[in-house]
């Protein structure tokens, strides 16, 4: 964000709080309403903690139903609970009925059975069924992010007929998204999709059948992993996609805003894994809400595990104790050799991990990946080996030591790159995310094997060590 924009959004979010508060004090309720209706719900939610308990309830009650619903959806769980506890039954029922079905199901997953039971009594029977159904989907599946609010048409209707039907069924206040309309047969099975804008553009007597587009490539199974759904949104530039069950019956719709969240979550997961942290299902650590305990629980596990893994480097070094005592200069180059090895390994593993995540790399082009990487490894090994040789010569003025360091550097870079590209595949083959093993372990693995290579090379080349 540029400084100018930071100022702009800061002033916006900071200024409306005192303004609303002043209007509330003056009991200018209609002004509060008109002011709030101009501010996006997310901006209000972000400043929600600035209001007192009473103000929160008052503001919420003043909002138009649909606005209240929007605000409610983006509030934190605690704030949602607080409001539900302080509204009367009619208001609670209105809020719950107004919420998007997927958001409502998410809320219910966090409520206690007792509260759920109470709320179910306040809701229409149909909506209760809907919540029950949606709650059965595990997080990370298509079903968990789909909405069950959508419009369905038969293929025999005309464009004009469809528009009239939409106008008949919908009131202006309706939040239902009708930008895509799904076409089903009498068995409720999905057969196509029509964009609202195509209904407008089409000749009025044209049949939906002739107008609709094929959904074979874009329809989604209810249990598909949501990352897979995201891939398909990206591939086909989708804004929305229909979800079907095993009988090909339409059961919901996924929209791009939920997909953007999935894409963000996957990026966080990947970055955390690469960064040797427990990815925690892609839940980002937010400094705004994080506790010291959370920071530690996300990090200590891997840190200690890798430390214990690194115990091996001590064992290796102790094994070669005699070589070390005879040629102390060998020690000088250990951090440089291992550090560069780790860096080279990380570079390769990250290229492969990213490729696997975006679909650019798969087991099908394994061969090409290895071939490219091996050639690159040879060249990079040579370059880095030469630099390391020069460094060793400068520091120690012993060409044999230079040779040992340079040759080891070359071999370690080869080893590191091979490890860096193999581990993501291995990790995936074992059913993990590619980055789970590869990100953290590459460096530690290269450390241990790299040291053994170093001393073996030294024993081979240096006469004193033979």
Q: Which of residues 34-53 bind a copy of itself (CB under 8 A)?
A: 38-40, 42-43
Instruction: Give yes or no for residue 295 binding a copy of itself (CB under 8 A).
Output: yes
CB of 123 to a copy of itself, least distance (A): 24
Window 105-144: contact mask with a copy of itself (x via CB under 8 A): ----------------------------------------
Instruction: Give yes or no for residue 207 binding a copy of itself (CB under 8 A).
Output: no
Q: How many residues bind a copy of itself (CB under 8 A)?
A: 132
Instruction: Give yes or no for residue 239 binding a copy of itself (CB under 8 A).
Output: yes
Q: Choose one: 15-23, 113-121, 140-148, 229-237; the region binding a copy of itself (CB under 8 A).
A: 229-237
Instruction: Give yes or no for residue 368 binding a copy of itself (CB under 8 A).
Output: yes
Among residues 296 and 460, whose Cβ is nearest to a copy of itself? Answer: 296
* Binding test (CB under 8 A) with a copy of itself, winner from 34, 359, 429, 464: 359
Instruction: Give yes or no for residue 429 binding a copy of itself (CB under 8 A).
Output: no
Window 298-337: contact mask with a copy of itself (x via CB under 8 A): -xx-xxx-xxx-xx-xxx-xx--x--xx--xx-xxxxxx-
Instruction: Give yes or no for residue 355 binding a copy of itself (CB under 8 A).
Output: yes
Instruction: Give yes or no for residue 158 binding a copy of itself (CB under 8 A).
Output: no
Query: What residues between 263 and 282 interact with a copy of itself by CB under 8 A?
Result: 263-264, 267-268, 270-272, 274-277
Instruction: Give yes or no for residue 249 binding a copy of itself (CB under 8 A).
Output: no
Instruction: Give yes or no for residue 186 binding a copy of itself (CB under 8 A).
Output: no
Q: Choose one: 82-90, 133-141, 244-252, 338-346; the region binding a copy of itself (CB under 8 A).
A: 338-346
Among residues 89 and 315, whose Cβ is nearest to a copy of itself? Answer: 315
Q: Three-state SS across the chain? A: CCHHHHHHHHHHHHHHHHHHHHHHHCCCHHHHHHHHCCCCHHHHHHCHHHCCHHHHHHHHHHCCHHHHHHHHHHCCHHHHHHHHHHCCHHHHHHHHHHCCHHHHHHHHHHCCHHHHHHHHHHCCHHHHHHHHHHHCCCCCEHHHHCECCCCEEECCCEHHHHHHHHHHHCCCCCCCCCCEEEEECCCCEEEEEEEHHHHHHCCCCCEHHHHCECCCCCCEECCCEHHHHHHHHHHCCCCEEEEECCCCEEEEEEEHHHHHHHHHHHHHHHHHHHCCCCCHHHCCCCCCCCCHHHHHHHHHHHHHHHHHHHHHHHHHHHHCHHHHHHCCHHHHCHHHHHHHHHHHHHHHHHHHHHHHHHCCCCHHHHHHHHHHHHHHHHHHHHHHHHHHHHHHHHHHCCHHHHHHHHHHHHHHHHHHHHHHHHHHHHHHHCCCCHHHHHHHHHHHHHHHHHHHHHHHHHHHHCHHHC
As a whole number of angstroms, the longest Cα–Cα distance in the chain is 95
Among residues 135 and 271, whose Cβ is nearest to a copy of itself? Answer: 271
Instruction: Give yes or no for residue 179 binding a copy of itself (CB under 8 A).
Output: yes
Instruction: Give yes or no for residue 15 binding a copy of itself (CB under 8 A).
Output: no
Instruction: Give yes or no for residue 283 binding a copy of itself (CB under 8 A).
Output: no
Instruction: Give yes or no for residue 25 binding a copy of itself (CB under 8 A).
Output: no
Residues 262, 227 contacting (CB under 8 angstroms): yes
* Binding test (CB under 8 A) with a copy of itself, winner from 157, 163, 393, 461: 163
């Amino acid at each position: 964000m540029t400084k100018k924009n930071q100022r702009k959004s800061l002033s916006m979010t900071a200024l409306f709080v005192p303004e609303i508060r002043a209007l509330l004090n003056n009991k200018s309720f209609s002004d509060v309403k008109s002011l709030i209706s101009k501010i996006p719900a997310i901006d209000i939610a972000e400043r929600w903690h600035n209001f007192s308990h009473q103000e929160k309830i008052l503001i919420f009650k003043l909002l138009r139903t649909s606005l209240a619903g929007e605000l409610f959806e983006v509030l934190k769980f605690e704030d949602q609970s607080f409001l539900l506890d302080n509204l009367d039954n009619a208001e609670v029922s209105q809020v719950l009925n107004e919420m998007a079905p997927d958001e409502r199901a998410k809320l219910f997953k966090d409520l206690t059975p007792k509260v759920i039971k109470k709320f179910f009594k306040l809701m229409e029977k149909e909506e209760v069924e809907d919540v029950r159904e949606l709650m059965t989907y595990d997080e990370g599946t298509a079903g968990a992010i789909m909405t069950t609010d959508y419009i369905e048409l038969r293929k025999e209707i005309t464009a004009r007929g469809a528009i009239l039907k939409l106008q008949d069924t919908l009131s202006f206040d309706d939040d239902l998204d009708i930008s895509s309309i799904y076409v089903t047969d009498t068995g409720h099975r999905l057969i196509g999709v029509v964009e609202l804008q195509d209904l407008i553009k089409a000749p009025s007597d044209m049949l939906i059948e002739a107008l609709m587009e094929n959904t074979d490539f874009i329809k989604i199974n209810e249990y598909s992993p949501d990352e897979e759904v995201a891939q398909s949104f990206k591939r086909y530039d989708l804004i929305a996609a229909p979800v079907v069950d095993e009988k090909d019956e339409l059961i919901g719709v996924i929209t791009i805003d939920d997909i953007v969240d999935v894409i963000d979550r996957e990026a966080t997961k990947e970055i955390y894994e690469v960064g040797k942290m427990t990815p925690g299902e892609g839940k980002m650590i937010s400094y705004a809400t994080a506790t010291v305990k959370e920071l530690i629980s996300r990090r200590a596990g891997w840190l200690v595990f890798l430390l214990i893994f690194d115990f091996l480097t001590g064992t290796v070094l102790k094994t070669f104790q005699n070589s070390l005592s005879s040629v102390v200069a060998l020690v000088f180059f250990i951090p440089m050799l291992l550090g560069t090895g780790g860096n080279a390994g990380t570079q390769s593993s990250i290229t492969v991990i990213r490729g696997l995540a975006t679909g650019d790399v798969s087991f099908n082009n394994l061969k090409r990946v290895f071939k490219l990487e091996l050639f690159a490894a040879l060249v990079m090994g040579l370059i880095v080996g030469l630099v390391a040789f020069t460094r060793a010569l400068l520091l120690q003025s012993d060409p044999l030591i230079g040779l040992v360091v340079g040759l080891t550097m070359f071999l370690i870079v080869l080893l590191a790159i091979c490890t860096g590209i193999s581990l993501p595949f291995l990790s995936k083959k074992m059913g993990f995310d590619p980055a789970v093993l590869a990100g953290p372990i590459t460096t530690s693995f290269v450390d241990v094997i790299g040291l053994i290579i170093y001393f073996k090379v030294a024993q081979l080349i240096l006469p004193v060590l033979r």
